[in-house]
């Protein structure tokens, strides 16, 4: 088994929010008819969380399910389990029109944490990040600077954000610059 | 600023979260069509100051294609609806009529 290497080797920056690249996480793209019971069972079976509804993300530690589009889920499991989770999902969905792919290596995962976390993301994404508009349990896919990204909150002051691995350095640098002390706006 | 609401994921996003895909409701002419029809399908586009129908893709979001009815001059959006729609839904036409009585766009009114 080869050693898993993340895009930025766990890069970390402590500004008025902390930005930390996270260890590898098992991520599975599951496409199919989300209304189908088998699809729900396949996703919840390996993730161990409830099925998310429109624009929801249910996550507990390393396990979770994010609603990505009307026919797509992102299923998350601990990285060592990803291969077995993919085959479990495939078995559950055999004969059903669906797509199951391990995309763990295609992504970079960051944690943005602290009282400035909302503001750091609000500087970079065209999204209303006020507590009234966005909170734990939701996911938002959007634009982070010039690249696509998705984020959700794991608690009241911490976000997890995914982007393509090929733009990991760009995403980290953006987040880092936005979190530099002295750049506080204080809107939230 | 142009704010569009994706009919698939429900996000109301700012224009840069989306990508424009040109005029909507084009009638496709392929093999066997007359040269005039094929030329029109490829090249002839509306360029209105006012009511317009466009294809948009929620490129930084859920990835789906949809159609937006909007005013090109004021950026007022009358509504959005799924791309799998061959002509503007009545509800959208009614909204346009309320705001722009007597509007006409290609064969739609
Ligand atoms: Zn969308």
* Mean pLDDT, residues A38-47: 98
pLDDT band at residue A36, thresholds of 50, 70 and 90? Answer: very high
CA distance A93 to A75: 14
CATH of the domain at B81: 3.30.2270.10
CA distance B109 to B94: 10
pLDDT band at residue A83, thresholds of 50, 70 and 90? Answer: very high
In-domain check, residue B83: yes
In 10 A of CB A46, how many CB atoms?
24
pLDDT band at residue A18, thresholds of 50, 70 and 90? Answer: very high
For residue A163, with 0-12 CB atoms within 10 Å meaning exposed, 13-18 middle and 19 or more buried, which class applies?
A: buried
- Give the one of B14, B16, B60 whose C-beta lies nearest to A141's C-beta: B60
User: Which domains occur in chain A, in start order?
Assistant: 12-178 (3.30.1360.120)
In-domain check, residue B33: no
CA distance A147 to chain B (A): 8
- Give the one of B16, B60, B64 whose C-beta lies nearest to A69's C-beta: B64
Domain with B90, as residue range(s), is 3-25+38-107
Q: Which residues in chain A are contacts of B59 at CB distance < 8 A?
A: 148
**ipTM over 0.85 threshold:** yes
Residue A1 has pLDDT above 80, yes or no: no
pLDDT band at residue A2, thresholds of 50, 70 and 90? Answer: confident
Contact A70 B59 (CB under 8 A): no
In-domain check, residue B12: yes
Q: Which residues in chain A are contacts of B17 at CB distance < 8 A?
A: 126, 142-143
A84 contacts chain B (CB < 8 A): no
Q: Which residues in chain B are contacts of A70 at CB distance < 8 A?
A: 8-9, 62, 64
How far does residue A9's CA lie from ligand 1's centre (Å)? 32
Question: What is the domain count for chain B?
Answer: 1
Q: Give the pLDDT confidence of A120-153 residue by residue, as tens digits.
A: 999 999 999 999 999 999 999 999 999 999 999 9
Helix, strand, coil shares, percent, chain B, to 5 = 20, 30, 50
């Amino acid at each position: 088994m080869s050693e898993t290497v993340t895009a930025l080797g766990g890069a970390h920056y402590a500004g008025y929010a902390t930005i930390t690249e996270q260890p590898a996480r098992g991520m599975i793209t599951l496409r199919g008819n989300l209304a189908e019971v088998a699809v729900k069972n396949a996703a919840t079976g390996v993730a161990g969380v409830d099925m998310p509804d429109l624009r929801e993300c249910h996550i507990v530690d390393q396990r979770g399910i994010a609603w990505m589009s009307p026919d797509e889920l992102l299923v998350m499991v601990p990285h060592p389990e990803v291969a077995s989770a993919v085959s479990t999902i495939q078995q559950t969905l055999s004969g059903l029109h669906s797509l199951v792919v391990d995309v763990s290596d295609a992504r970079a995962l960051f944690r943005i944490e602290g009282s400035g976390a909302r503001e750091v993301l609000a500087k970079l994404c065209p999204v209303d990040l006020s507590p009234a508009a966005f909170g734990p349990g939701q996911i938002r896919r959007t634009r982070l600077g010039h690249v696509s990204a998705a984020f959700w909150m794991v608690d009241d002051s911490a976000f997890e954000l995914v982007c393509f691995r090929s733009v990991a350095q760009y995403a980290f640098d953006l987040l880092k610059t936005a979190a530099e002390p002295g750049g506080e706006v204080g809107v939230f | 600023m142009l704010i569009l609401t994706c009919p698939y994921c429900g996000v109301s996003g700012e224009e840069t979260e989306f990508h424009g895909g040109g005029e909507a409701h084009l009638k496709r002419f392929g093999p066997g069509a007359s040269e005039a029809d094929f030329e029109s399908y490829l090249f002839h586009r509306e360029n209105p100051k006012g009511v317009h129908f466009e294809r948009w893709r929620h490129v930084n979001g859920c990835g789906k294609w949809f159609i937006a009815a909007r005013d090109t001059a004021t950026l007022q959006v009358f509504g959005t609806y799924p791309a799998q729609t061959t002509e503007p839904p009545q509800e959208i036409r009614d909204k346009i009529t309320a705001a722009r009585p007597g509007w006409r766009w290609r064969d739609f009114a």
